[in-house]
Structure 1
Amino acid sequence: MSGIDRAAPDLTAAGAAPVGTAVPEPRGMKDVDGARSAPPRRSGARRGVAEIVLGTVLGQGLLIAAAPVLARLYGPADFALLQIFTGVVSIGAVLAGLRLDLAVSLARDVTETRAVLRAGLAGTVVVAVAIWLLGLASAGLWAVNPTLAGLRSAWWLVPPTVAVIAVFQLLSAVLVRAERYRDLAGRSALQGVGTAGAQLGFGFAGLAPLGLLLGMGVGRAAGLASIARGGLFPPPAAGRREPVTPGQVRAAIRRFRRFPLLTTWTALLNNIGQYAPYLLFSLTYGQNPTGWLAFTTRLLALPAAVVGQAVAQVFLGRGASARRDATGELPRLTWLAVRRLAVLGAGPALALSLVGAWAFGLVFGAQWERAGTYAQLLAVAFLAQFVASPVSNVLNLVERQGVALGWEAVRLLLVVGVPWLVWLLGGSDLAGVAAYAGVLVFSYGGVLALVWWVLRRG
């Protein structure tokens, strides 16, 4: 089971046009010599979503198929460690990339895009090393239970995993900008193959829980290999591309400074809010409830990985084009995505809420039946996430990062404070999960309300 990040958002039928409606051809990126590179081939957003979904289904489908085997190779305590590890590296990757992956979509031309990439890669190296040193120096303070002691033992894996995730997001953003959906599909397929292969292989070799942790980095590395093989930019018209200068890098940072200064902290709060409940469960309810919650949320996140990420990537590409070209299409694209995602996700959410416990025990084994009860409680919350997460990119596209930052701060307080209060009052782990689910529904409803507000204000 993969470490699925939401900021990638991870951090994506957003740009889908109604049947029979022609979709405007996106503009090509203007190259350094003034000539335009060939624009992406004409392709409706429906086709873009379909291509990305196909690649993601191939990759994530392997993870879904492997889940019953992984549930028997690894125990709840292993998945508890994986979730805490995933939180640490996801937060580190947000800091490392400075959210410049979002700025890539708004860059004016190839030269500026390369300058943004250069800044993001430099930040990745510095932050990855800093995280490694800080973790080693402070481990004696935070390794206070078995799960965190396991994280301390695996800390050597944190810097390379942070780096590979940050680079993966930066380079994927170039493909999103150019609306190269087929290349995004190939990246997703290889990522899933690498993750599933590593986690299964290391699991059969008896390397638990290390195999789960290694799978994250191996999967992203496989996706990067796919991106590198296809190349990032078309050949320049002049035959040779000039190197990016330090001045161009500084100019790009100045132009997009709101992304490092504001969006980084928004994404940081988002990731902390996403993973803090697992740390809270680890410190309050213990390893097994943390592992059950981690296993459940990872499994429920797979539909979002298969469809939601594809939608988010297409939405970001077409939404950025609409924003750059001032076509006025962004509100229509947004609410079309919301409606179609809601219809698509309602049926599975209802089925899960009815038969979750029975299905988990049957498919994954008796030790995971409690996780199925968690899934019943979380079904509506993950439907809300499935609908709201892709269109949350609107707040970045219209550069209302301050609004997003404020809401993420509220969300963080709620996802930590409410379950903690339930525990203080003597509530069971089921009560804690129910409280967490309620907070998620409220927070994603708030995202949709904010998106409506900023679009209404123009």
Structure 2
Amino acid sequence: MKSYLRGILDRVRRPGFLRDILAVSSGSMGSQLIAILSSPILLRIYSPHDLGVQAVCISLLFVSVVASLKYNQAIPLPAEDNDAIVIAQLSVVVVLAMTIGIGLIFYVIGGKIVGATNTPSVIEYLWILPLIFLLLGISEVFLSVCIRFEKFKAVGIAQISQSGAQVLYQTLAGLLAPTPMQLVLGILVGNLVAMIIYASSLRREVTSFTIIKDSFSLDRLWQAAKFHKKFPILSAPAQIINAASIQATPLLLAVFYSTNVVGWLALAQRLVGLPITVIGYGVSQVFFQHSAKLQNQKPWELLSLYQRTARSLLLICLVPFLLIAILAPMIFGWVFGPEWTEAGAYVRLLIPMFICQFAIAPLSYITAVISAQRLQLIWDIGRLVLIVGLTYTAAFLKLDASVCIALYGLAMSASYIWLFFATSSALKKLSDVHAE
């Protein structure tokens, strides 16, 4: 055991994959620690209804995952830094255009969209959603540039600052007027702070590339857009469907059950999702950067990296998540108040999903690295159909909300397991090609 621990410490101290993960994860861990410590306060200020309205607003923003049409994912890939900067320029232009489009959609048919969710109070917050969309999109572009230049420390600092600013605003504003608006505005404030930190960390790199001020041209952007066309054609639809799979359940629960049920689910996913966010976020960003390098140098080793990382993540999470499943129903009511006890019961039902998500979801960037966007798209479509089908069936049969939550968790678990084996198969084929 001592030699095992010593080996882990040696790997942490050495520059490389694990150290980079810890650099990013430490910041994410700090941000989530802020969320943990503030949750008992926030959840005694705000009601399950307030959290449910916030969850519906977030669901309506699910398209923000493709704010740049996924061109930002191509930023770490080129061998030359100047080419990466051109892609970053393209991504920003696309984000601006998408923001205008989203604003027009909410202006023209926002009322009908909100009416379909059976949460009329959300209409009050539609005006701010396009602005949040813009900040989310620009932040993702800056994040990809930071990953390109291995600014992992800055990524960690941005995560802590984002969470701190969001919680601070929501707490102070909630003490004055505890409404869902304060929760939504907190998201805006947090993302604005993160965007500023990302941009500040890149000042040296930005000023060193004359292409930004001297060589910006629509022709360069058009060439980059055509060369990386798989991202908007395949990755963007896949990501939209991916986000829809996650956000469809809160919207359906709001329609067929109540905003309280949405609030309980949101709390369960928020708190038990902490280790997924903390470690998974660091793994996903660093895994993307390292796998992109490996693809250019030793692509036959990608399968080993993918399976080894997934296996390690699975071993890390098993015992903690099983303990959470046992203790959650008791802890939630005690810490957050009696009205939140049901959220603890939801946690127990969703533990299989959390385990699969922790071990497999952070590695999904590998499909972009090996140009397997079609695989990702097929998987996302299948997951969306499965989740919506089961959730709608449970509501149609008038099953209890807890049964609906359990079916949702099983559907998510099955989809992640299928993704792991499908991706492994694609990587094995790639390895066999290079071995010939």
- TM-score when scaled to structure 1? 0.88
Query: In the TM superposition, what are the counterparts of 1:408-447 in structure 2 within 5 Å?
Result: 408-447=380-419
Q: 1:75-94, aligned counterparts within 5 Å?
A: 75-91=47-63, 93-94=64-65
Q: Which residue of 1 aligns with 2:434?
A: none
Residue 432 of structure 1, CA deviation = 0.4
Q: Does 1:359 align with 2:355?
A: no
- Indicate if the aligned counterparts of 1:80 and 1:294 stay in contact, CA closer than 8 A: yes
Cα distance in 2, alignment partners of residues 336 and 399 from structure 1: 21
2:119 corresponds to which letter in structure 1? L
1:140 and 1:171 mapped to 2: Cα distance? 33
Within 5 Å, give how 1:195-274 maps onto structure 2.
195-231=166-202, 234=205, 236=208, 242-274=214-246
Identify the residue that residue 11 of structure 1 maps to in structure 2. none
1:21: Cα distance to partner? 9.5
| Aligned residue identity for 2:201 | G
Work out whether 1:192 is the aligned partner of 2:146: no
User: 2:282 maps to what in 1?
Assistant: 310
Match of residue 139 from structure 1: 110
Task: State how far apart, in whole Å, the 2-side matches of 1:65 and 1:285 are.
Answer: 30
Superposed displacement of residue 198, structure 1: 1.7
- Give CA-to-partner distance per residue, 1:163-221, whole Å, 9 cap, x none: 00011111100111222211111111111111111221221121411111111121111
1:104 alignment counterpart: 75
* 1:21-100 alignment runs, 5 A limit: 43-91=15-63, 93-100=64-71
Q: Is 2:309 aligned against 1:337? A: yes
Check 1:125–1:274 CA distance in 2 against 1; reply closer, same or farther (3 A cut).
same
Deviations 1:25-74 (A, max 9, x none): xxxxxxxxxxxxxxxxx821111111112211222211111111111111
Q: CA deviation at 1:240?
A: 9.4
Q: Is structure 2 residue 157 aligned with structure 1 residue 149?
A: no
Helix, strand or coil at the partner of 1:244: coil
C-alpha distance in 2 between matches for 1:146 and 1:339? 39
Question: How does 1:285-304 map onto structure 2 within 5 Å?
Answer: 285-304=257-276
Q: Report the Cα distance in structure 2 between the residues aligned to 1:261 and 1:238, rounded to whole angstroms.
A: 30
Q: Which moved more, 1:330-339 or 1:249-258?
A: 330-339
Tell me the equivalent position of 2:4: none
- Answer whether contact 2:333 2:341 (CA < 8 A) is retained: yes
Aligned length: 422
Instruction: State the AA in 2 paired with 1:354.
Output: I
| Structure 2: distance between partners of 1:141 and 1:231 | 42
Q: 1:289 to 1:323 in 2, by over 3 A?
A: same
| Matched letter for residue 125 of structure 1 | L
Note closer, same or farther for the CA distance 1:219–1:81 as it changes in structure 2 (3 Å cut).
Answer: same
Q: 1:233 to 1:439 in 2, by over 3 A?
A: farther
Alpha-carbon offset, residue 22 of structure 1: 8.9
Structure 1 or 2: larger helix share? 2
- The answer on whether the counterparts of 1:292 and 1:370 sit within 8 Å (CA) in structure 2 is yes
- Taking the aligned partners of 1:335 and 1:354, their CA distance within structure 2 comes to 29
> Which residue type is aligned with residue 298 of structure 1?
R
Is structure 2 residue 357 aligned with structure 1 residue 385?
yes
Residue of structure 1 in register with 2:373 after alignment: 401
2: CA distance, partners of 1:403 / 1:211: 40
Change (3 A) 1:233 1:429: same
**Cα 1:253/1:108, change in 2 over 3 Å:** farther
- Give the secondary-structure state (helix, strand or coil) at the position aligned to 1:97: coil
1:244 shift after superposition: 2.1
CA distance in 2 between partners of 1:272 and 1:83 (Å) = 13
* Deviation per residue, 1:404-442 (Å, 9 max, x gap): 101111100111110211222221001101110110110
Q: C-alpha separation between the residues in 2 aligned to 1:239 and 1:260?
A: 24
Task: Mark the CA change 1:369 to 1:376 in structure 2 (over 3 Å): closer, same or farther.
Answer: same
Any residues of structure 2 matched to 1:172-191 within 5 Å, and which? 172-191=143-162
Output the amino acid matched with 2:49. A
2:291 counterpart residue number: 319
Give me the whole-angstrom Cα distance separating, in 1, the residues matched to 2:70 and 2:210: 31
* Kept after mapping to 2: 8 A contact 1:346/1:383: yes
| CA deviation vs aligned residue, 1:251-276 (integer Å, no higher than 9, x gap) | 11111000011100000000000000
Letter in 2 for 1:117: A
RMSD between aligned residues: 2.1
Distance of 1:431 and 1:240 partners within structure 2: 54
Give the corresponding residue for 1:346: 318
Deviation, 1:145, is 7.0
Q: Secondary structure at the match of 1:143?
A: helix
Deviation at 1:142, TM superposition (A): 2.8
2:119, 2:69 → 1: CA distance?
27
Deviates more, 1:409-418 or 1:290-299: 290-299
CA deviation vs aligned residue, 1:210-237 (integer Å, no higher than 9, x gap): 1111111211111111112222553548
Farther-moved stretch of structure 1 (136-145 vs 289-298):
136-145
Runs of 5+ in structure 1 lacking a partner? 1-17, 24-41
Percent of matched pairs sharing the same residue: 23
SS in 2 for 1:156: coil
Residue number in structure 2 paired with 1:371:
343
The 2-side partners of 1:88 and 1:145 are apart by 11
- The aligned residue for residue 5 of structure 1 is none
